[in-house]
Structure 1
Amino acid sequence: MFAIIQGSAKSPLVSLIAGGAAGGVEATVTYPFEFAKTRVQLHEDSPTRNPFRVIKAVIENEGPRALYKGCETLVAGTVLKDAIRFISFDSIKMAFKDPETGTLSPLRNLMAGISAGVVASTFAVTPTERIKTALIDDARHDKRFKSPWHATSTLIKEHGLLRALYRGYVTTTLKQASTTAVRLGTYNILKDYERLHNIPQTTATTFGNGAVAGTIVVFVTQPFDTLKTRAQSVQGAGVVEAFTSVIKDYGVKGLWRGSTMRLGRTVLAGGILFTTYEWIAALIQPILEKKLIIARSE
């Protein structure tokens, strides 16, 4: 285990590498829960909301490989997304922090998270989420798409580049901005509190902080996630159309459809994401700092 870096500023390169690697690990480990959640959000005939039952049914009916349909796209997008949002958040956080305490107010934490979420949605999340959602939706019935690249080229031919890859941009950005603000904001608030009260930043503390942040994220941002999934299905839908279709099918409570499955994934994902991020940052930051010192001395 590596000691968690406490109170030290991470360089942009450290944030980029650690954030991207952490996102890739988290996405790969928790993807079956994401698959199950997306299936339930797309198809009203799902007999259960228990993620383990959905996963079991998919394995029995479609084989275990089906659980990772669209995984390559999500992992690639998550690596890019988390690299961008961690470097964005850490850079913005450094600009906004209190010079005396080194902490941010809750409002500034949230604003830094929102800004990082918008950047990540624009450059990484919306295109990859669109392809991932289309792959999962297509695997249920039509099975037209042979791979992420085939799905991408097919959708671009049918709808054009922007409409194919940026369908659901508004709902995705709303979800991403709110998720990043709540997740990174909550995590950073907990870390600042622990730093001010001299609570050691152990692996268990970091995992717990990430799990708490993940729990809060689900209940606050689930409606955006539900609308995003509807908007990015194979047929697609606008924001208003996605909203009205969910209300028509399930009522207001339908906006939180899939929250149980997302909760299981997000709590685990939050712990994995931040623990891996801090581990990798603690490993590579001293190496990069040493190389920088050597370079400056030459």
Structure 2
Amino acid sequence: MRWDLTFLFLVSTWFPFRMSAKKEKNATFSLISGTVAGAIEGAVTYPTEYVKTRLQLQAGGKLAAGELRFNGPIDCLVKTIRTHGVGAVYTGMSALVIGNAAKAGVRFLAYDKIADALRDKDGKLTGSRNVLAGLCAGMTEAILVVTPSETIKTKLIHDKNSANPQYKGLIHGTSLIIKNEGLGGVYRGLFPVMMRQGANSAVRFTSYSTLKAQVQQWRNKGDAPLPAAHTFAIGATAGIITVYTTMPLDVVKTRMQGLDARNLYKNSLDCLIKVVKSDGVLSLWKGTTPRLTRLIFSGGIVFTVYEKVYNVLASQASQ
């Protein structure tokens, strides 16, 4: 783990910095902007999500007959394309794109409304309240959207690479999962997902908001919109900080959503212990490279698209 990045996160989170006063966000604009941003980000970055998931499914688990063993992200990508074709790295993409669009919409809507409620009488938001707003937004998206969409995505990827694949696609796979496991089948790993999403949003929004406010202050721009290049860079930095601080939660989440999770793990803590015993502590950062790649671009894309779409909607409404 990169301690310099952890230190940067802690400083950005707890430094007694107060964000400048902002006008209350329009709920409809936040929902639309977040949804558009999430859909675009999910489609663009999906291959990295596929590679991350494949690597994590092998962390602390036994290989099925005929299943490929990967030595790293590049090896995973090459072997998958060589064995199953280019289309294989987009397995489960529809579940993630749909879920990502809904997730981002819910995330930005929840964050903006909660942040507005937590502002003081001068319209300012302290660092600790910003963390709380991000945490609540992450928990909300985990319950409403992320858990079912990511469980289905993970099962589709795991099934595609098993000895006897049974899912023919998103709709067929989802119907079979619910038929065989009930509605609880698509809510597998709810607790680690809530923990991961809560931590993700708390870290990402706090890092982004703090860095954005500092850049605006440095440029003497007040609350004015920043150029797209600056927004992308700030969002990418927030993505880097998020990856290194929340990776263990992501690994446990993926393992708990695998096809054989019910037979292997009693709960999230049992999963964590077994993964560490089997492959060591560093296995909790399995898939960091592809997830880092994705979240660097994810942070840049999501925040940039969100800001642009929101500003366009707001400007059109004011005319």
**What TM-score comes out, normalization by structure 2 length?**
0.84
- Are the equivalent residues in 1 in contact too, given 2:232–2:300 (CA < 8 A)? yes
2:215 to 160, 185, 194: 194
More displaced stretch, 103-112 vs 61-70: 103-112
| RMSD across aligned positions (CA) | 1.7
What residue identity is the alignment partner of 2:304? T
Match of 2:171 in 1: 149
List gaps (5 residues or longer) in structure 2. 1-20, 60-67
Distance 2:274 2:51 in 1: 20
- Supply the distance in 2 between the matched residues of 1:198 and 1:98 (Cα, whole angstroms): 25
For residue 223 of structure 1, give the secondary structure of its aligned residue in structure 2: helix
Structure-2 residue corresponding to 1:295: none
Structure 1 stretches of at least 4 aligned residues deviating more than 6 Å after TM superposition? none
| 2:80 and 2:88 in contact (8 A); partners too | yes
Identity over aligned pairs, percent? 37
Amino acid in structure 2 at the alignment position of 1:28: A
* CA 1:270–1:104: 2 relative to 1, 3 Å: same
Instruction: Identify the residue that residue 47 of structure 1 maps to in structure 2.
Output: 70
| Cα distance in structure 2, aligned partners of 1:197 and 1:248 | 48
Say if 1:83 and 1:144 are closer, same or farther in 2 by CA, change over 3 A.
Answer: same
- The amino acid of 2:40's aligned partner reads V
Q: 2:150 maps to which residue?
A: 129
Q: Which residue of 2 aligns with 1:258?
A: 287
**Alignment partners' CA distance in 2, 1:41 and 1:153:** 25
SS in 2 for 1:104: coil
Structure 1: runs of 5+ lacking an equivalent: 1-5, 291-298
Deviation at 1:135, TM superposition (A): 0.5
Residue identity matched to 2:157: I
Q: Which AA in structure 2 matches 1:123?
A: L
**Once the two structures are superposed, what CA deviation does each residue of 1:72-123 show, in whole Å capped at 9, x if it has no partner?**
00011111111001000011111222443x4421111110000001110010
Does the CA-based 8 Å contact 1:103-1:192 persist in structure 2? no
TM-superposed deviation, 1:194 = 2.6
- In the alignment, structure 1 residue 80 sits paired with structure 2 residue 74: no
Match of 1:207 among 224, 232, 247: 232
2:188 aligned counterpart, secondary structure: coil
Give distance in 1, aligned partners of 2:98 and 2:150.
10
Q: Distance in 1 between matches of 2:171 and 2:228?
A: 38
| Post-superposition offset of 1:199 | 4.7
